[in-house]
Amino acid sequence: MLENKAIRTELSELGEFGLIHELTKNIKLKHKSTIKGVGDDAAVISYGSKQTLITTDLLIENVHFDMTFMPLKHLGYKTAIVNFSDIVAMNGIPRQLIVGIGASNRFSVEALKEIYKGIYLACENYKVDLIGGDTVSSVSGLFISGTAIGEAAKNEVVYRNTAQKGDLIFVSGDLGAAYMGLMILEREKQAFKADPNLQPDLEGHDYILGRQLKPEARTDITKLLKGVGVIPTSMIDISDGLASEILHICTDSDKGCSIYEDKLPIDPATVSMANEFNIDPTTCALNGGEDYELLFTISQKDYEKVKDIYGISVIGHITDKSEGINLISRSGTQVPITAQGWDAFLKGKEKN
């Protein structure tokens, strides 16, 4: 993929400082809170009386992404988004980003600039300042780490461990599509390995591929909630799948829950792809991961205020811890959700 590029500048031609300059020379800072960005030993930020939120994520080639089907620009975009999503999940606003990169000489300057195009696009879309990073060489493979910094008023920060009995459980958007996108990309990669003359068959799968390759952080949802004056009682972003995230909320809050299978928002494109792969769409929603949607709880008294917000669905409610963490299947069977939720779920189905 990289070899086909017309121009290839070796990393060694620029050297570390030349490369950093090349990657950061056009930065224009957007925020008053960014006092000093790239160019010194440390960046300086100040939020005055607000609280500062900090999060970091490390992405490693062949573990978190696969260069054979992850375009470089998308990789940059995703690196930024997964971090912004964590800030949003605290009900904060992402403001600054720091990016560390470890690249082997397999990567050219042009390749790294392509990754930065994606990072800068995400920073534009979410109004975030890139304020620094680190650039090192790696013996093999590519590493990218992102650290996002955000702000929130003290009384607006939302944690995972504060869900209350009786709260309604919501998710934004729809679930399972990113996983189906990954399955298609993996399938085409295998087909390509078997027969390199084969063209990838990605036609007609725009939605689910986009969900895998170009996720978004749901700042729009937290803004809408703020607009109607509602602060969730707890919140988390869905990076590892609904099952894993609801377990976090319930376990950390010392509560149980009932989630209803028939309420899970799943896009028709996800359902039809799941059928093609012979996977239960509910399994995709529970365990797929990488949707970067928000899972949050809301006090029942706030239901009237949020019920007309487009793009969020009620999927269940918080119960006493003693009632357990359960999925209520379409047929009404109660199945405990575990980290490998689908295992228990499949067993539960067999009992029917």
- Contact residues: ligand ADP, CB under 6 A: 20, 23-24, 38-41, 99, 101, 130, 132-135
Q: How many residues bind Mg ion (CB under 5 A)?
A: 1
| Residues forming a β-bridge with 34 | 45
- Report what 201 binds from ligand ADP, Mg ion, none; CB cut-off 5-8 Å by kind: none
Do 344 and 337 form a contact (C-beta atoms < 8 A)?
A: yes
Question: Cβ 221 to Mg ion, closest distance in Å?
Answer: 36
Which lies closer to ligand ADP via its Cβ, residue 78 or residue 218?
78
Which lies closer to Mg ion via its Cβ, residue 42 or residue 139?
42
Q: How far is CA 194 from the centre of its chain?
A: 32
The DSSP line for 19-69 is HHHHHHTT-----TTEEE-BTBSS-EE--TTSEEEEEEEEEEBTTTB-TTT
- Report what 40 binds from Mg ion, ligand ADP, none; CB cut-off 5-8 Å by kind: ligand ADP
Give the DSSP letter of residue 324: -
How big is the CA angle at 27 (ends 25 and 28), to the nearest 5 degrees? 135
Question: Cβ 102 to Mg ion, closest distance in Å?
Answer: 11
Question: Cβ 88 to ligand ADP, closest distance in Å?
Answer: 22
Q: Cβ contacts of residue 233 below 8 Å, gap of 6+? A: 158, 162, 163, 164, 167, 296, 297, 298, 299
Task: Compute the distance between CA of residue 274 and CA of residue 350 in angstroms, rounded to an integer.
Answer: 19
Question: Cβ 135 to Mg ion, closest distance in Å?
Answer: 7
Question: Cβ 101 to ligand ADP, closest distance in Å?
Answer: 5
- Report what 125 binds from ligand ADP, Mg ion, none; CB cut-off 5-8 Å by kind: none
Do 132 and 27 form a contact (C-beta atoms < 8 A)?
A: no
- Report what 282 binds from ligand ADP, Mg ion, none; CB cut-off 5-8 Å by kind: none
- Report what 132 binds from Mg ion, ligand ADP, none; CB cut-off 5-8 Å by kind: ligand ADP
- Report what 163 binds from Mg ion, ligand ADP, none; CB cut-off 5-8 Å by kind: none
Q: Cβ contacts of residue 225 below 8 Å, gap of 6+? A: 231, 232, 306, 309
Radius of gyration (Cα) for the chain, nearest Å? 22
Contact stretch for Mg ion (CB under 5 A) within 93-101, 130-138, 253-261, 286-294: 130-138
Residue nearest to Mg ion (CB): 134
Establish if 134 lies at the interface with Mg ion (CB under 5 A). Answer: yes
Question: Cβ 133 to Mg ion, closest distance in Å?
Answer: 8
Which lies closer to ligand ADP via its Cβ, residue 108 or residue 239?
108
Question: Cβ 129 to ligand ADP, closest distance in Å?
Answer: 11
Query: Could you give phi then psi for residue 328, rounded to 5 degrees?
Result: -100, 115
Which lies closer to Mg ion via its Cβ, residue 90 or residue 144?
144
Question: Cβ 59 to ligand ADP, closest distance in Å?
Answer: 14
Identify the three-state secondary structure at position 142.
coil
- Report what 147 binds from ligand ADP, Mg ion, none; CB cut-off 5-8 Å by kind: none
For 36, 45, 95, 116, 146, the CA distances from 31, given in Å and listed in that order, are 10, 9, 7, 20, 19
Cα–Cα nearest to 202, from 221, 180, 219: 180
Binding stretches for Mg ion (CB under 5 A): 134
